[in-house]
Amino acid sequence: MLRPPPQIRVSEWAERHRILGSRASSEPGPWRTSRTPYLREVMDALSAVHPARRVVFMKGAQVGATEAGNNWLGYILHHVPAPVLAVQPTVELAKRFSRQRVDPLLEETPALRERVAPARARDSGNTLLSKEFPGGILVLTGANSAVGLRSMTARFLFLDEIDAYPGDVEGEGDPIALAEARARTFGWRRKAFLVSTPTIAGRSRIEREYAASDQRRYVVPCPHCGEMQWLRFERLRWEKGDPRTARYHCETCDEPIEEHHKTAMLAGGQWRATAEAQDPHTVGFHISSLYAPVGWYSWEQVARDWEAAQGKPEDLKTFRNTVLGETWQERGEAPDWERLVERREDFRMGVVPAGALCLTAGVDVQDDRLECDVWGWAEGFSSWLVDHVVIPGSPRERAPWDALATLLARDWPRQGGGAMRIARLCVDTGGRDTAAVYGHLRRLRDPRIAPTKGVDGWNRAQPVQGPTPVDAMVDGRKLRRGLKLWTVSVSTWKADLYRRLWLGRGDAAEFPPGWVHVPQGIEAEWVKQLVAEQLHTVKDRRGFARQEWAKLRERNEALDCAVLARAALWLLGADRYGERFWAQLREQVANAPLQPSELPTSGNVAPLPPPQVATDTHRPRGWLAPRSGWLR
């Protein structure tokens, strides 16, 4: 029997039924929309009686967006039973969301407790990623799982943190498009909630979706003159070095507004559309952390975080994304190669500078040679070009790969004594001789070698993914010890390199963290190759802007090698473990024996002893590259 949609709205349901527990909230107790009045219209747009089919929420941190989505899920389970698909960036995050958000929602809200059977009951239909209830089912999945996105039809979609979704999920396309395809059969009754903090301008999904909406902003009254305005970071002022003096200044009367006025300002606020939506069924909301209720995230803390981020591009980007809820404009224009040539430094190629703590390398495969660049790294991702090696020969032949194995067996003398070896090396296998490259890498069987394939698109959360087996038997089964391939989001690492190349020193005597050190002995042609591409903004078929890299000159081997060397550092765990990673390396370097080594000739691999190339078909058990082996 068809029933009319319930007249109760999501915000009303939350006021009547939602209970916040200590597991999921810093303020346990009954839900009060008066704490976050700006969420009322967002939640009501998700109600069954509202005509919107897509609700877009671009926001900063600490504004309660996820709890608004949870209220919507509770409203659906209680009043509008139907299939629901909730998508997190990864399956692991979906499991965490289920334990930390969904389970407390069901257990601590009396109106929902009886709708879903306890997980401990046999055949309850309540599992970690699936919650059955009368008339519907809630399925949780990750945007990195194509199977999870196409496994069911759904009337309602909760797409959380969409800017962290992969660009292409398992070769089947955009995860948002895959998810929304699941709801088409429900016609005008479907509804999707898209939520995220933004990331990079031109490739932020939430920015794109918000731009296609009516772009609503929450305006609040000035307590002095009553003028309605939306809060801008530029109007927050304080005495330099003293965030305690932070006050918001009205854009009309310029009177300072104290933090305690915020509660009344939020209560008197309202949403106003600032554009005409491309899709009349899409509504969009944007709000920053400046609106966070008193006691959550203060204007004083905003000022502190801003001052702490000065001089640190990554921290500034994080501040803009998570506090202001705005995209970061990546500096994608190529630096002048002449400027980089002029700033070359007086250190010797083939010798590891004293500041470097580990070595990685990138290998670009050409038709008649292997181009290899060896980079040294230190905390803050400061880097030194240690050597540039060209190994002649067709990649189909054995000789250049044996020479590469020799390079990996080489001890690189370190300034001040001691020596290092390459800890990780990434090889680009995406050329015309992919099968031959696979064969030679399979023969070398060095665990420090990571076969890679570059992919388009941006993925800051997981810029290197894998490994994926690429060897198969006749019947299609994967070889147990076959070659495994890593995929590298090259756009992400190119932007990271250009950001570091644009760093300036000013009057500082020290190099800033992330500085790219280039030796005097490298040729100008190599420097040109390092900045051989530039970031361009183009329009896709739907008219949305997106960014892609385009060549400024034909040769770009140095740029490709630098990207692969940075990906190799990621594989070592530098990004994942942070300061612990660098602390361990500093300890190893400090304890390394200081033995003088003969300085090698830059780029010359011939005089080294012949490599030990594995010829057997099985790798010995437990054969790993120990970290202590990086130092000699």
CB 334 within 8 A of CB 531: yes
What confidence tier does 442 reach under pLDDT thresholds 50, 70, 90?
confident
**CA atoms in the 13 A half-sphere facing the CB of 345:** 12
d(CA 433, CA 527): 27
d(CA 175, CA 194): 12
Residue 591 or residue 32, greater confidence: 32
Which of 24-38, 262-276, 278-292, 565-579 is predicted least confidently?
A: 24-38
The residues near 265 (Cβ < 8 Å, ≥ 6 apart) are: 220, 221, 222, 223, 257
Helix 299-309 with 313-322: angle, nearest 10 deg: 150
Q: Is the peptide bond before 37 cis (omega within 30 degrees of 0)?
A: no
Tokens of 403: 């020479």
- Across the strands, what pairs with 256? 249
Q: What is the model's pLDDT at position 599?
A: 36
Residue 375, Cβ neighbours under 10 Å: how many? Answer: 25
Which of 46-50, 367-371, 510-514, 569-573 is predicted least confidently?
A: 510-514
Label the pairing between strands 191-196 and 54-59.
Answer: parallel
- Across the strands, what pairs with 123? none
Helix 10-17 with 65-79: angle, nearest 10 deg: 90
SS3 string, 371-402, reads EEEEEEEEHHHEEEEEEEEEEECCCCCCHHHH
Quick check: 543 pLDDT over 70?
no
8-state DSSP, 434: H
Residue 195 or residue 499, greater confidence: 195
**CA atoms in the 13 A half-sphere facing the CB of 411:** 15
Q: What is the model's pLDDT at position 466?
A: 83
Q: Could you report the per-residue pLDDT of 82-129, keeping only the tens digit for each?
A: 999 999 998 999 999 999 999 999 988 888 988 887 766 555 567 888
Q: What is the model's pLDDT at position 479?
A: 65
Helix 434-444 with 399-408: angle, nearest 10 deg: 50
Q: What's the average model confidence in pLDDT over 367-377?
A: 94
For residue 91, count CB atoms less than 10 angstroms from its CB and return exposed for 0-12, middle for 13-18, buried for 19 or more: middle
Q: How remote is the C-alpha of 473 from its chain's centroid?
A: 35
Which of 156-165, 325-334, 425-434 is predicted least confidently?
A: 325-334
Q: What is the model's pLDDT at position 4?
A: 64
Q: What's the average model confidence in pLDDT over 433-443?
A: 86
Which of 134-138, 233-237, 619-623 is predicted least confidently?
A: 619-623
Q: What's the average model confidence in pLDDT over 27-40?
A: 92
Quick check: 367 pLDDT over 80?
yes
d(CA 276, CA 280): 8
The residues near 401 (Cβ < 8 Å, ≥ 6 apart) are: 370, 395, 440, 441, 443, 444
Q: What is the model's pLDDT at position 301?
A: 95
To the nearest whole number, what is the mean pLDDT of the chain?
84
Segment holding 488, helix H or strand E: strand 484-489
The residues near 283 (Cβ < 8 Å, ≥ 6 apart) are: 45, 52, 54, 55, 56, 213, 214, 216, 277
When mean pLDDT is compared over 18-27, 130-139, 584-593, the highest value belongs to 130-139
Q: What is the model's pLDDT at position 362?
A: 95
Tokens of 408: 């990996």
Quick check: 311 pLDDT over 50?
yes
Q: What is the model's pLDDT at position 62?
A: 84
Tokens of 105: 């929602």
Q: What is the model's pLDDT at position 620?
A: 31
Q: What is the model's pLDDT at position 606?
A: 36
Q: What is the model's pLDDT at position 476?
A: 56
Tokens of 57: 């929420």
Q: Could you report the per-residue pLDDT of 173-193, keeping only the tens digit for each?
A: 788 888 888 888 888 889 999
Helix 490-501 with 557-572: angle, nearest 10 deg: 100
Tokens of 36: 């976050």
What confidence tier does 25 reach under pLDDT thresholds 50, 70, 90?
confident
Tokens of 133: 């209830």
